[in-house]
Amino acid sequence: MRLTRIVLTLSLSLLLTLACSKRITNLPPEDNHGNTNVHKLVKRVGDSTRFEIGTWNIEWFPKEGNTTVSDVKTIIQNLDIDMFAVEEISNVSAFNRLLDSLPGWDGKLSGDTYSNGTYQKTGILYKTAFISLSNVHNIFTDDYYAFPRPPLTAYVEIRDTRGEPFNFNLIVLHLKAKSGDENEARRRSACEKLKQYIDLEISNGADADFVVLGDWNDQLNDPPDRNVFTAFLDDSSEYTFLTKGLSGQYSYISNSYKSLIDNILITNDALSEYGSGKTEVLYLDSEYSPYLYEVSDHRPVVSIFKGFRLYLN
């Protein structure tokens, strides 16, 4: 009997340890609320001990109405990534419906509109169990030339049971689209002004960890005479594009043209938190065949920060 009690005690202890080692997810069978009705469209990327952040242009969201809202909800639940910067949110009500369908998530949208009252807003989606946002606002609101869609910024705090392992300034971008000398000049101006802004913020005492991500509408590997990212690329001692090494991967996938224009930049103060991290384009269209028609002509780009461990049990 005594041996039986010992075995039962050890078994119960093991079960409790396994149960407590999971963070809140919306995925079966890990769902802490016992829900097992989440449809599977794409494979999981998130890990319960690391922080993941992605940028996702959800083309004219919702391009196919409620079908798109449902697809995006399921993809977010399937991926189990902690935070998304999103672009091309063209319907606030649909964005709010998306949030209502995602327990454990919250979101923020930029406040800007175009001169005719339409908009493609940038936004932030994040898990509330261990992430909080403050000081959310648009910047460069009076510079339409460089920033026709003013960047959205926020201060992000990631909390766990042992404190706050990673706090950083987040900036979400959607720069001027299309090719041509004038549009390239506007994107180059945006990069130069954005670098000046970050440099000044840090020199004035801001947290030196910055994560800048979004649809930059240009490629990092362009030749020097046409490269709009020169201001950042020439200051490699302070800035690193996590997407710089993604040769042959494409985030923009229209029927006629493919390119990597969705990028993730960090200040080098955040390299220790990134550690031996990984950045990749998620080829969701290969997993879910209606993706291009129902969701977006952009694939998400995700960075996994492995330089620290989250303790969320």
Question: What pLDDT is attached to residue 4?
Answer: 40
Question: What pLDDT is attached to residue 26?
Answer: 43
Partnered with residue 47 across adjacent β-strands are: none
Any domain includes 244: yes
Question: What pLDDT is attached to residue 20?
Answer: 35
Any domain includes 13: no
- Considering only CA atoms, which of 127, 168, 142, 139 is closest in space to residue 264? 168
DSSP H/E element including 56: strand 51-61
Any domain includes 60: yes
* Tens digit of each residue's pLDDT (9 = 90 or more) over 17-50: 333 333 434 444 344 333 446 789 999 999 999 9
Residues of the chain with pLDDT under 70: 1-37
DSSP H/E element including 2: helix 2-20
Question: What pLDDT is attached to residue 247?
Answer: 85
Which DSSP symbol is given to 175?
A: P
Any domain includes 20: no
Any domain includes 165: yes
Any domain includes 18: no
Domain count, the chain: 1
3-state secondary structure of 20: helix
DSSP letters, 90-111, are: --HHHHHHHHHTSTTEEEEE--
Any domain includes 146: yes
Question: What pLDDT is attached to residue 107?
Answer: 98
Task: Return the number of other C-beta atoms located less than 10 Å from residue 108's C-beta.
Answer: 18
* Tens digit of each residue's pLDDT (9 = 90 or more) over 248-289: 999 999 888 899 999 999 999 999 999 999 999 999 999 999
Question: What pLDDT is attached to residue 37?
Answer: 62
Any idea what the CATH number is for the domain that residue 268 is in?
A: 3.60.10.10
Question: What pLDDT is attached to residue 164?
Answer: 83
Domain extent at residue 157: 25-305
Structural tokens at position 255: 């029927």
Question: What pLDDT is attached to residue 29?
Answer: 38
Question: What pLDDT is attached to residue 132?
Answer: 97
Any domain includes 19: no
Average pLDDT score, the chain: 90
Backbone torsions φ then ψ of 5, nearest 5 degrees: -65, -40
Question: What pLDDT is attached to residue 272?
Answer: 97
